[in-house]
Amino acid sequence: MKKLHIAISTNNIEATVADYSNRLGEEPCLLIPGQYALWRTESLNLSIRQNASSSPGTLRHLGWEDPAATEFTQETDVNGIVWERFNADHQAQEINELWPGTSYSCN
């Protein structure tokens, strides 16, 4: 089953993790202090990233975590929104490339 992916920028990871953990009723499956957090619920894949080049609370991109995806793809819709399509292993690989030593696994 596909999961909607939402990627949001923040300027305060700790406060955002506390707020979104409360809203989702669970803690993130991955937290890189001061930089990144990821929740993978039954229907949602939500990531937040601290990024000085983006205003807090802005949408970084949308997408689909799709088990049938054989490669990572990205396209822009008619409204200029970037949409990604990937499987959980693609996301884990990207996380481990961005933050070496994390050893994140989606399993």
Asked if residue 90 is part of any domain, the answer here is no
The count of structural domains within the chain is 1
Q: Which residues pair with 65 in a beta bridge?
A: 3, 86
Q: Is residue 85 part of a domain?
A: no
Q: Looking at the predicted structure, is the pLDDT value of residue 106 above 80?
A: no
| Residue 107 in this model has a pLDDT that exceeds 80 | no
When the pLDDT of each residue in the chain is averaged and rounded to a whole number, the result is 93
- The alpha carbon of residue 72 and the mean position of all alpha carbons in its chain are separated, in whole angstroms, by 14
Distance CA 87, CA 49 (A): 19
**CATH at 14:** 3.10.180.10
Domain around 4: 1-64
Poorest-pLDDT segment among 19-23, 66-70, 83-87, 103-107: 103-107
Residue 51, in any domain of the structure: yes
In a domain, 88, yes or no: no
Residue 72 lies in a domain: no
Question: Would residue 77 count as lying in a domain?
Answer: no
Query: pLDDT tens-digit profile of 25-42?
Result: 999 999 999 999 999 999
* Model pLDDT for residues 44-70, shown as the tens digit of each residue: 999 999 987 788 889 999 999 999 999
86 falls within a domain:
no
